[in-house]
Amino acid sequence: MIDTLAHRCLDGDPRAVARLISLLEDGDKDAFGTLAALVERMGQAQVIGITGPPGSGKSTLTDKLIGEFRARGKRVGVIAVDPSSPFSGGAILGDRLRMQGHATDPGVFIRSLASRGRLGGLSKATAFAVRALEAAGYDIVIIETVGVGQSEVDIVKVADTVVLVSVPGLGDDIQVIKAGIMEIGDIFVVNKSDRDGADRVVREIRAMLETQAMLQRGKSVDAGPDTLAARNSELLHHGQTDLRPETLPMREVYNLPPVMKTIAETGEGVPELVGEILAGFERARGSGELKTRRHDAIKSQLKDLVGWQVMDYFIDQERDGRLERLAKSVQNRKIDIYSAARELFAALIQGEKR
Amino acid sequence: MERKIRVIVAKPGLDGHDRGAKVIARALRDAGMEVIYTGLRQTPEQIVQAAIQEDADVVALSILSGAHNHLFPRVVELLREKDAEDILVFGGGVIPDEDIPFLKSKGIAEIFGPGTPTSATVDFIKTHLKRA
């Protein structure tokens, strides 16, 4: 039954795609097995991540992006992630609400997923749901993350292009130089740009990006005279880390990510945004950056999968009561928690060898 | 891993408000279900496409406008056309008692009128799911 599911997926049957995504989300091992049948189509779709704080207009923007990609003849798959309740495990998935205008278009497939306890802004199987949509022939896959705060950055592990949506009125300029979410944008969008303060947000983001570029240039080969690289010997003299250019990751030419203004409600700025998304993708493909990025993405997905398998195996093994016993020992101060963990891990490895 | 029950909550037709549908959505969420809320003024076609793409187990329809005898059966009919009659469909809203037998004969599993405790809806879903 599972094999037919894969083939129906390749034929673009929406029911099959929908069911496969559910099974992947539920962690069904057979369903993960079907991914083998989808391998040949892997990498054909351009995967676009839309991320930003709650209420910044991600869903409305996604709705308009679907329209624009459709006008350009692309088939569009959408994965929209909303949070699960930490208490009941239930969820209200409301992103689709804004996109229902496209529901009956056969060139569009919209799927809502609940985060189910994952904290990185995506659900556990988002990366694999992308494979199902891609196999069914969607040229563009848009992933809308949950409304993010400052550190939900899992989207970089999945998307070819990350669009970071911001809005006026969220805070002062120190917000944009913090680590985390502001570091992952390939394209920055200031949405609701008819509101007061939009130009200021654009300026602040640009300033942040320029500083970042300067710092990175300071470390590159074609750095000017007054840079960290040039001062390397001096720094070494003061006992600091070796900063010779060849020891540092090199960047070819540093292009500043674009900062664009949109009004998603009316669609203003959306055609330009789509133009930039497509052009940036082509540039990344030409320069080899896309290849590197996808390689890194695959590596981190592999780590995730191995991690889950180890955890599943651990939970299987755990039936012998060792976890329970060690937890008690830790509580009774018979053993420290780190040693207990080491003992559990050792038992896990032993179990595998048996 | 336990499979989550996925429910589409939709309002077909031209109703102006969705307070009742939102209350149901909340109650189902609190019962641990994943509720896909599609909002107001939906056509049966939109609702059915959403149900299929979302791989829903249940479609919960709410209507206040009086068009239930047309719109509810249409949703069931379209699901059948798409080979998706394993999706449970039930309705609520302002529905006169005398219409209920007709709606049930058209494949609407149950009708919940105003004042139904939300727990009754939750229990109904849990006991009547067509998919394993």
Cα Rg, chain A, nearest whole Å: 23
How confident is the model over A158-177, as a mean pLDDT? 82
Mean pLDDT of A270-277: 98
Q: What pLDDT, in 10s, does the model give residues A107-141?
A: 999 999 999 988 888 998 999 999 999 999 999 99
Average pLDDT estimate for A50-56: 92
Judgement on whether residues A253 and A344 belong to the same structural domain of the protein: no
If one compares A240 and A105, the residue with the highest pLDDT of the two is A105
Distances (CA, A) of A44 to A16, A38, A136: 19, 11, 11
Q: What is residue A176's predicted lDDT score, i.e. its pLDDT?
A: 61
Helices A14-25, B44-53: crossing angle, 10 deg rounding: 50
Give the pLDDT confidence score for residue A249 in this predicted structure. Answer: 45
| Domain end position, chosen among A259, A287, A315 | A287
pLDDT band at A212 (very low <50, low <70, confident <90, very high): confident
Test mutation, B7, B8, B29, chain A, max A CBs within 10 A = B29
- A177 band by pLDDT with thresholds 50, 70 and 90: low
Best of B5, B53, B74 to substitute, by most chain A Cβ atoms within 10 angstroms, is B53
Select from B55, B85, B122 the residue whose CB has the most chain A CBs within 10 Å, as the one to mutate to test that interface: B55
Predicted-complex ipTM score: 0.93
By the 8 A CB rule, do A48 and A143 touch? yes
The nearest alpha carbon in chain B to A97 belongs to: B38
More confident of the two residues A348 and A326: A326
Contact state of B50 with A96 under an 8 Å Cβ cutoff:
yes
User: What's the number of domains chain A is made of?
Assistant: 3
Which domain, by its residues, includes A242? 42-287
Distance between CA atoms of residues B76 and A96, nearest Å: 21
Residue contact A18–B54, C-beta within 8 A: yes
Domains of chain B in start order, with CATH, are 6-126 (3.40.50.280)
Split at pLDDT 50, 70, 90, the class of A302 is very high
pLDDT of amino acid A353: 59
Angstrom distance (rounded) from CA A244 to CA B89: 68
CA B27, CA A354: separation in Å to the nearest integer?
A: 48
Q: Please calculate the CA angle B41-B28-A103 and round it to the nearest 5 degrees.
A: 35
pLDDT of A150 strictly over 70 = yes
Question: Is the Cβ of B31 closer than 8 Å to some Cβ of chain A?
Answer: yes
Put the strands of the sheet holding A91-93 in their side by side order. Answer: A91-93, B34-42, B6-12, B58-63, B88-93, B111-112
Query: Are A274 and A160 part of one and the same domain?
Result: yes
pLDDT > 90 fraction of chain A, expressed in percent and rounded: 57
Taking contacts as CB-CB distances below 8 angstroms, the residues of chain B near A97 are: 37-39
pTM (2 d.p.):
0.87
B64: distance to nearest CA of chain A, Å? 19
Query: Looking at per-residue confidence, does A340 or A237 come out higher?
Result: A340
Burial class (CB in 10 A: 0-12, 13-18, 19+), A286: exposed
pLDDT of residue A254: 57
Whether A321 has a pLDDT exceeding 50, the answer reads yes
Q: How close B41 comes to chain A (CA, Å)?
A: 10
Greater model confidence, B22 or A221 = B22
Judgement on whether residues A28 and A127 belong to the same structural domain of the protein: no
Residue of B nearest to A111 (CA): B54
Higher pLDDT residue, A93 or A149?
A: A93
Comparison of pLDDT for A291 and A150, the residue scoring more: A291
Report residue A252: phi and psi, to 5°.
-65, -90
Q: Is B121 on the interface with A (CB under 8 A)?
A: no
Same domain, A108 and A175: yes
The closest of B116, B91, B114, B117 to B104, measured between CA atoms, is B91
Predicted pLDDT at A253: 44
| Interatomic CA distance for residues B122 and B107, integer angstroms | 19
Q: Give the alpha-carbon dihedral of A240, A246, A251, A252, to 10 degrees.
A: 150
Pick the residue of A98, A112, A312, A316 with the most B CBs within 10 A to test the interface with B by mutation. Answer: A112
pLDDT confidence of residue A335: 95
Residue B27 touches chain A, beta carbons under 8 Å: no
**Cross-chain Cβ contact A100/B38 below 8 Å:** yes
pLDDT at A115: 93
DSSP A117-147: T--SSS-TTHHHHHHHHHHTT-SEEEEEPPP
Task: Check if B131 contacts A (Cβ < 8 Å).
Answer: no
How confident is the prediction for chain A on average, in pLDDT?
86
Q: Any idea which residue has 């840079």 for tokens?
A: A227
Q: List the 61-80 stretch of B: residues with Cβ below 8 A of A.
A: none
Which residue among A287, A309, A332 closes a domain? A287
What's the pLDDT band for A319 if we cut at 50, 70, 90? confident
Do A257 and A214 fall within a single domain? Answer: yes
Identify whether the C-beta of residue B71 lies closer than 8 Å to the C-beta of residue B10.
no
Is the Cβ–Cβ distance between A45 and A139 less than 8 Å? yes
From B29, B37, B54, residue closest to A90, measured CB to CB: B29
Name the stretches of chain B with pLDDT < 70.
1, 132
Out of B3, B34, B45, whose CB is closest to A90? B34
Is residue A136 domain-shared with residue A271, that is, in the same domain?
yes
Same domain, A234 and A208: yes
Same domain, A35 and A46: no
Q: What is the per-residue pLDDT across B69-95, written as a single tens digit (0 to 9) for each?
A: 999 999 999 999 999 999 999 999 999
For residue B71, count other CB atoms closer than 10 A to its CB. 20
pLDDT value of position A19: 95
pLDDT at A285: 95
Contact check, Cβ <8 Å, B3/A96:
no
> Are residue A319 and residue A266 in the same domain, yes or no?
no
Q: Are A93 and B49 a contacting pair at CB < 8 A?
A: no
pLDDT higher than threshold 90 for residue A17: yes
